[in-house]
Structures are given as C-alpha cells and as structure tokens.
Structure 1
Amino acid sequence: MPRLKLDVRAERLRLAFPFRISGYVFESAQVIVATLHDGDRTGRGEAAGVYYTGDDAPFMVETIETHRDAIEAGIDRAALQTLMPAGGARNAVDCALWELEAAQSGRPAWRLAGIPERRPLVTTFTLGADAPATMAEGARAYASAQAIKVKLTGELDLDLARVRAIRAARPDVWLGVDANQGFTRDTLEPLVTGLVDSKVALLEQPLARGREADLEGFDSPIPIAADESVLTLHDVDRLVGRFQVVNIKLDKCGGLTEGLAMAARARELGLGVMVGNMIGTSLAMAPAFLLGQQCDVVDLDGPTFLQRDREPSVRYQDGTIWCDEAVWGAGAKLTA
C-alpha cells in the first residue's frame, strides 16, 4: 500500500425529534468521519460508536490518533483487523479503506465484497417509545412502510399496550420489537405471550447483556435477536441455543470487513442475520446496505431521524432503502 493521509473529524447530528428507548432519550448524535487519501484518490467512513460501551466520539478520535502513524504508513483492511480493536474507530477507518480500494481498483465496493448484484431492501422504520396512541399515530404516518420496529422500555403492561395500538393501526405490516435489555427472565414469558397475540415477528434483546444464559431452555415462539449481546465475530458462536438471530452493526464489530465475516459465521451456525445501525447519515448506511444484501432483516432507517442528511443520500421508497454508488463505495479521484 502507498502512504496515506488521514483526516478525522467529529460532527454532531441533530435529530428531528427526541428519540426514546429503554433507559435513554436521544436528542442528537455525535459521529466521526475518517477520510483517507493516497494522493490521487480518497475513501470515507462514518461511525457513531456504541453508547453503552463508552465508545463515544472523543474516544473514537483518540483511538484513531493513537494509530495514525501505522494507518498513514499504508495499512490494508486485513492489517487493520489486528491493529485496532473493534468499535466505531475501526469501523470508520475500515469503511474508508473499502471506498479507497474501490477507487484504486475501479471496481465498486459491492463487487469487492463478492456481491453479485444489489437490490432494494425492505427496511424497518422505528418508533421510539411514547404513549400508545402517539405511537399508533406514528405507525399510520409511516404509510409506505412494509416493516415497523417498536422500541420498548421494560414496562410490561405499557409496552404491550403500545404494541397492540400499533398493530391495530397497521394490521398489514411486519412488526418487530426492540426491548433494549429492559426485561428479566421472570417477565419474558408474559411479554412473549402478549407479543404473539399482536403477531410480532421478532423480539430483539429482551434481557440485559451478560444474562444470555437465562435464555437457555426458553422455547420462544418468536425468534429472539441478539443486539447488545453480540458485538464481534468472537461473540457469535456462544449465541447458539440462546438466540435465533444475530443483529450485526458495523459500529459494534468494527467495520464492513468483520460484519461480512459475522454474517457468514452466523449462517454456518444456522442463525438468522440482521443488519442494524446506530443513528447516522447515509454515509454510515451505505456500507451496511451492502451487508444487508446478505441479511434476513434490515434496519437501516437512521437518516430518517435527522434534521439533515448528507448529499447524495440513500433513497427510501415504498418501504425500501436503495443506495447508489454515488453515496459511497465507488471512491473518488482527487482533483487539483
């Protein structure tokens, strides 16, 4: 690899409205953008980090700066996997390397990833936790959505009322819920019973990270997806017998390179595969869109929560997401 020039900056993204999940209310999101130049071409990557592990923007920037010399010496994606730990910092650099390689090779990132063709993907659209009637109105406002994901707070009766209200408002959609670690083994069974009544198709992360063993022997009629319980490829094998679906997020695992490896390993183990996102712009959704080509469930609605997205941007139409190469993944030749 030729020597590279690295630029890294932090940006604050304003949300269009407050977004509530179990234990958190978000009004903005801070991301970083890493850009790599080889003198002629450039590649970019955006990361939001992982809020529940302390992987915030200052930490991500510091992590990248710690490894600046090695990165600028001309690193490739394979070497990056051992140089930097998983997390948002590596995600930003890894995705920048993917786009840089695309520009250098003249082949788009999706071809480099071995994807034979791209297709629009049905994506979930997420409802933050609120009063049941408010969430039902939000579900109706997602008029073109084919799939809706509901954020819960761990308040059993209220959460089930929320789900019932949404199902009544939108009897036609695929419906999933994200518990964000809000429940315990004691409250899991009544939660699942109520979700079955509302024809919920997926339950994401009901128990706290570290309590995965509590799911052993629990025969759920609804597939349970691991989110906070699975960060990297190292975590995937121990999900068997506890979860049925793996939610891969590039900010957790440290980039598209490991995300693709996680999807392949999950398939080998008979697990379903989901791609999710921390809130971000289209620049963050674009590499996840490539991973989504290999997934059963796609949750890539992050830019819809922002006051302003980047241009060019991903396109949402009829409940699907489409990402053109102009957004990310083709790279660019620098001009004087």
Structure 2
Amino acid sequence: MQIQLQKHTLALRHTFSISRESHDFQDTLIVGLNLNGHTGFGEATSNPYYKITVESMMSEIEAVQKEIEAYDFSDPVTFHDFLKAKGLSNFALCAMDLAAHDLYGKLKGKPLYELWGTQKDRYPLTNYTIGIAPVDEMVSKMIEMPWPIYKIKLGTEDDVAIVRELRTHTDAIFRIDANCAWTAEETIQNAPLLKELGVEFLEQPLKADDWEGMEKVVHQSVLPIIADESCIVEADVEKCAMHFNGINIKLTKCGGLTPALRMIRKGKELGLKVMVGCMTESTVGISAIAQLLPQLDYVDMDGALLLKKDIAKGVEIQENGKVIFPELAGSGVTLI
C-alpha cells in the first residue's frame, strides 16, 4: 500500500464566523491510499480550537509511513486499530480512516452505505450554515442560497433579534448553534422565543465542560439540545445521554468513520437523536459523511457548498438538499 499526502488551502465563498473565530480559508489534508490499482481518499481539516494543523497531521503520518505501507490491508476496522496503536491524533486518524473506507469499498466494488447494509432511499436533508455577521449580510447569504434548512451561528448580544429578522425573509427550518457562547439561564430564556420563530433545536449552547448547566438546560428547555463540543469521542456518548437530547458526531474529532459508526449505534441505543456534522471539508470529507445518511436523524454536510472552488468530485448536493450519490464505489471520491 502506498500513501499520498497533499495539503490544500480551500478558499471560502464568504468569511465564516462563529462565536470564537473567523476565517476566509480552510487548510485541509487529503490522504490517498493506493492498493491493487485503486485509490481511496480521506480528509481532515486543520482546527485552531483543537490545536491541529495540516503540518502536524502530516508529521504524525510520515513518522509511521513505512509501517503503514508495509501493513497487509484487509479491512478498515482492523486498520484503524493498527493506526490508533501508533498514537495518531484523531484528526490524522480520520484522514487515514476515510481513505481506508473509500479504498475498501472500491476494492469490493460497492458503495459504503451498501456494505453497511443500508439503503439510500430515505435520508435527512443537510442544513446550510449561515455564519455570524451583520444581520444584513446574513440575510444576503440566505437570499444567495435558498435552502430548506439553515443552521444559524449565534453568540452575540442580539441573538434573538437576529433570528427574528432572518425569519422575515424565509419559511425554512432554523437550527441554532451558539458554539458554547451562552449560559444555562440564557439558553432557557431564549428557547421559547426561538421556538416561536421556527427553530428546530439548539446545538451546544453551553461550554463543553458545563455539565451542571447542561443538565439544568436539558430538563428546562422547550427546545431539544444537541451536543457538539461535549461529544468528541466514543466515551462521551453515554455521558451526553444524561445531559442532551442528541449528539452531533464530527468524523475529524472522533477519528473517522470507524468510531463514528459505533457512536451512532450507541447513541440510538441510548435514545439520542443522532447527527453528523462537518468541519468545512471538501467533497472528499463530505462524500464520506454522505455514506452515513441512511443511519442519521440530522446532518450538517454543507462544507463543500461553502467553498469558492472544490478539489474533488463525489457526492453532489442539489439546491433542494437532495443528494446525488456517485456511481463509483466506496465513498465515490476522485480528485479534480
């Protein structure tokens, strides 16, 4: 097996702002795994919040590259165990694991969702994210991209007023993501006002470690609460079940599709709503997420839609949110 590592800097259509940061570009690592004439592709983006860079991921992988290339690849799960034992970070693990799954599907000649025993006849629609900006800019972004579901990033002094203004311009479903910017009291007070404005749920309103506050919120909020920053790895799912109504799984954070599949199963066993989110990936990462769609209640896979220019072909998302799955096996990815 041969490894290819590529760094790409993805330019965004608009400045993307959340409660703690803003950026116009997104660095990402693309991994290619070549075996028997097939190439599987995986991706993981850099992230300052988790102190991850493309260079740090590349250094991790290059340190064990010879061992990886000598590995007798048979399936992604045992390969993930092998990589995890080498001490790779979850972000580097994700890039490798996504590539391994894509490669495995291509070797088997089937898409991943089919190998997992699911069908693509029913699946949730992705939301389209509107980052924090002056409200007229947020309205302009919605008008530019008419969509059935919007995720609205909040964490300002005028959050409810922003949603009230946005509501005058669309009948779409709203989801609110405060990225840890609210207190328990703010969340409980805002929830009924936002529910009246057509908000479906609130995502991670409190700081990731404010478990006491989240337990209060989950019992008093009139809107469902979905964990994001509080649900990073498999061990977090059970704890989240006592403090949230659902979980948002990020492949980069948990280490790829292999642990994500286990987190989905565990979440469902515990009665949680299950969502998978993205980290402004290209179509490489988004196509991997798409393979999970039949297993999900909600999905946030708009990363490639936020880019000025994509670097890959795979899953296509139409303006009504409908997904066109690629004919190619695996996650169906090819680089442009």
Q: TM-score, normalised by structure 2?
A: 0.90
**Which deviates further from its counterpart, 35-44 or 199-208?**
35-44
**Which deviates further from its counterpart, 308-317 or 94-103?**
308-317
- 1:169 is aligned to 169
- 1:238 is aligned to 239
Find 2:3's aligned residue among 1, 6, 14: 6
Counterpart amino acid of 2:229? E
Aligned 8 A contact 2:148 2:321 in 1: yes
> Is 1:152 the counterpart of 2:154 in the alignment?
yes
- 1:194 is aligned to 193
Q: Gaps spanning 5+ residues in structure 1: where?
A: none
- 1:212 is aligned to 211
- 1:268 is aligned to 269
CA distances 1:87-131 after superposition (whole Å, capped 9, x unpaired):
221111111111211222222222222223455641101111112
CA distances 1:31-67 after superposition (whole Å, capped 9, x unpaired):
0011111242221111114431112211211221233
- 2:293 is aligned to 292
The percentage of aligned residue pairs carrying the same residue is: 30
Q: Secondary structure at the match of 1:30?
A: strand
Aligned 8 A contact 1:274 1:297 in 2: yes
- 1:104 is aligned to 107
Counterpart amino acid of 2:159? D
Specify whether residues 228 and 250 from structure 1 end up closer, same or farther in structure 2 by C-alpha distance, changes over 3 A only.
Answer: same
Q: Secondary structure at the match of 1:233?
A: coil
CA distances 1:272-305 after superposition (whole Å, capped 9, x unpaired):
0011100011111001011122111111111111
Counterpart amino acid of 1:112? L
Root mean square deviation of aligned Cα: 2.0
- 1:324 is aligned to 326
Looking at structure 2, the residues matched to 50 and 327 of structure 1 have their Cα atoms a distance apart, in angstroms, of 29
Aligned 8 A contact 1:314 1:327 in 2: no
Looking at structure 2, the residues matched to 313 and 331 of structure 1 have their Cα atoms a distance apart, in angstroms, of 5
Specify whether residues 29 and 327 from structure 1 end up closer, same or farther in structure 2 by C-alpha distance, changes over 3 A only.
Answer: farther
Looking at structure 1, the residues matched to 144 and 120 of structure 2 have their Cα atoms a distance apart, in angstroms, of 32
Q: Secondary structure at the match of 1:122?
A: coil
Counterpart amino acid of 2:144? A
> Is 1:17 the counterpart of 2:20 in the alignment?
no
Looking at structure 1, the residues matched to 38 and 116 of structure 2 have their Cα atoms a distance apart, in angstroms, of 19
Looking at structure 2, the residues matched to 310 and 57 of structure 1 have their Cα atoms a distance apart, in angstroms, of 16
Counterpart amino acid of 2:275? M
Specify whether residues 189 and 138 from structure 1 end up closer, same or farther in structure 2 by C-alpha distance, changes over 3 A only.
Answer: same
Aligned 8 A contact 1:123 1:297 in 2: yes
Counterpart amino acid of 1:21? I
Q: Gaps spanning 5+ residues in structure 2: where?
A: none
Work out the number of aligned pairs and report it.
325
Deviation at 1:194, TM superposition (A): 2.5
- 1:128 is aligned to 131
Looking at structure 2, the residues matched to 249 and 298 of structure 1 have their Cα atoms a distance apart, in angstroms, of 10
Deviation at 1:186, TM superposition (A): 3.2
Counterpart amino acid of 2:271? G
Q: Secondary structure at the match of 1:217?
A: helix
Counterpart amino acid of 2:108? S
Q: Secondary structure at the match of 2:202?
A: strand
> Is 1:304 the counterpart of 2:301 in the alignment?
no
Aligned 8 A contact 1:135 1:165 in 2: no
Looking at structure 1, the residues matched to 187 and 64 of structure 2 have their Cα atoms a distance apart, in angstroms, of 43
Q: Secondary structure at the match of 2:93?
A: helix
Aligned 8 A contact 1:313 1:327 in 2: no
**Which deviates further from its counterpart, 10-19 or 98-107?**
98-107
Find 2:39's aligned residue among 42, 63, 68: 42
Q: TM-score, normalised by structure 1?
A: 0.90
Specify whether residues 293 and 221 from structure 1 end up closer, same or farther in structure 2 by C-alpha distance, changes over 3 A only.
Answer: same
Looking at structure 2, the residues matched to 69 and 279 of structure 1 have their Cα atoms a distance apart, in angstroms, of 30
